[in-house]
Structure 1
């Protein structure tokens, strides 16, 4: 399916999707949970070292503003919101510059560095998934106060819920720290996380969510940070990590099928970026990219967060030539292509 997006100018991709699809859509809001792949600035407001509210982050964002997004511009969720005829950005719930009038059509509870596993969020002192749910409950009450119970319930029931999480559980937790490795084999840990994902979706369903997209893992062994660990072996992708991501996505697929049978009225889909992102990495020229093994910021080998700053040497001039912005996160161009694919492939039923 990704072949259909080759050659399309990425800057107009979201506008094309919006004009083509949203004629029949009724999605009054986009509500986001997850990690740095979708955090639009919540980490700015908490005491953690994992932040990106400084240059060169955001240099290609609207107004050239570093918002706390781990990207040079917009995130996939921003493009998805626009494709559904909503705002071109999804604001962070903890951002004091926004209020319930802004959040009524879109809100992000995600926190960079978090995971399904509470141990993962403890590593860098970020917002755990259960706390994202607590913020969502608070948001529901605020929305009822703003719109009234009936209208708020309608919005919450028709909203599109986007979930993107899980990479940190493996790369920041399981493979980096000994605790979970002593408790679980790789497969057992996958099953442990899938169980948490199931509980999370069930909780959202209990709270009124019906249109839900559960995000799969990317080919995490091909992230520049992971390839750097094999720099003396040609900076190849870490296939073990890719295999785990692929297996985990298959288990999420089975979970989606199971929950769609168990929960009346739910419309749960798996939005899986794995194959498309891997194709970009393996065939970059087909998408207009030049670099995949290294990122745009600084040396592109290991920098992210505070190591990717305006004083970093060697930061690229044109991020559109790169699949990755920093050693862990895609560029805005990559995000636009992924969002376009997700809208067309898995979210089309909500349009």
Structure 2
């Protein structure tokens, strides 16, 4: 057993006592897709929603908030670890005001990607529009707190970015346009260029403390394992190899941008190896099932196919790595968030 693996087991054993600190960041500001969306898709005309049971059944009050999980998602847990609020509100949720958003806000939209074409597949918020919402947020924050205080919050906030899986699984490998235009290697480079442009755009708007999350082991998601019968239920290696290669390209981008942009603290929060260890050794992390998900049959259900009328949803999500065919359970999110706080994000504590 490697030292790395022993460390992961330690993190699992301590995940319920997630590291907490006095806030040294002013707010948690979130961009990305369903891995971090806290409910923005509830307020746009898309079929990709999760604001109904059994989603959220283990969230505070058993509420289905639009998070694609049985409970909280990583930004919520990271926010709490940093001594801020227990969960990050969705920017489009009219129940919240700029007072709520001052210490944390989520602009993420489930189903989106770096590539604008990806967001069009399910009619969700493209990444450029998330930036426009952020600009609007800054204006509202200035009106609420005044220019000096608003600028301090923007400068000292921690920006969490989690995006990219949909570009491959819902776009490149599913639709013909990009796969005819690019080899997979060239598409990775294309996405990295878009990632650079995005980081530059929020840097110019004042962001300095930024976490860029890489891809998970895409080939081990239940949707891919159970619907690609040729692989016999095993992880799909070619998807995982793409994820590893793309994550390395993101690391190279991070190294370059940290050298080029004064004051930037850009870190790589790479979930790949931790999630792969959890999926391939679930019992060591306290799980019983990692190939299938909790909701429905666990094979392909996500969104409206995962609903309270489905008789197969498991009674205890803590036994499962995945909640639906694409998204982790709150327990898995807790382990991942704890790992991030203790490793890449520790520089901001």
TM range (shorter): over 0.9
- Rounded Cα–Cα distance in structure 1 between residues aligned with 2:11 and 2:130: 36
Q: Measure, in 1, the Cα distance between the counterparts of 2:142 and 2:5.
A: 40
Q: Contact 2:40 / 2:109 at 8 angstroms: preserved in 1?
A: yes
SS of residue in 2 equivalent to 1:199: helix
Give, in angstroms, the shift of residue 300 of structure 1. 0.2
Name the SS of the counterpart of 1:162 in structure 2: strand
Shift of 1:16: 3.7
Compared CA separation, residues 73 and 27, structure 1 to 2 (3 A): same
Match of 1:308 among 306, 309, 321: 306
Secondary structure at the aligned position of 1:38 is classed as: coil
Matches within 5 A, 1:1-351: 1=4, 3-6=6-9, 13=15, 15-18=17-20, 22-23=21-22, 25-231=23-229, 233-351=231-349
- Please say if residues 296 and 313 of structure 2, whose CA atoms lie closer than 8 Å, have aligned partners that are also in contact: yes
Q: Distance in 2 between matches of 1:295 and 1:3?
A: 26
2:63 and 2:7 mapped to 1: Cα distance?
31
What is the Cα deviation at residue 230 of structure 1? 2.9
CA contact (8 A) 1:194 1:252 kept: yes
The 2-side partners of 1:334 and 1:266 are apart by: 30
- State the shift of 1:313 in Å: 2.0
Q: Does the 8 Å CA contact 2:225/2:231 hold for their aligned counterparts?
A: no
The answer (yes or no) to whether the contact 1:214–1:268 under 8 Å persists in 2 is yes
- Distance in 1 (CA, whole Å) between partners of 2:278 and 2:147 is 45
Q: CA deviation at 1:314?
A: 1.0
Secondary structure of 2:247's counterpart equals helix
Shift of 1:8: 6.1
Report if aligned partners of 2:11, 2:338 keep a CA contact under 8 Å in 1: no
SS, match of residue 19 in structure 2: helix
Distance (whole Å) between structure 1 residues aligned to residue 83 and residue 268 of structure 2: 22
Q: Deviations over 1:310-343 (max 9, x none)?
A: 0112110000000000000000000000000011
Give how far 1:233 is off. Answer: 4.0
3-state SS, counterpart of residue 17 of structure 1: coil
- Any gaps of 5 or more consecutive residues in structure 1? none
Where does the alignment leave 5 or more consecutive residues of structure 2 unmatched?
none
Please give the root-mean-square deviation of Cα atoms over the aligned residues, in Å.
1.3
**How many residues in Structure 1 have an aligned counterpart in Structure 2?**
346
In 2, the alpha carbon distance for the partners of 1:272 and 1:2 equals: 15
State TM-score, norm by structure 1.
0.96
Kept after mapping to 2: 8 A contact 1:113/1:124: yes
SS in 1 for 2:212: strand
1:279–1:311 Cα change, 3 Å? same
TM (normalized to structure 2)? 0.97
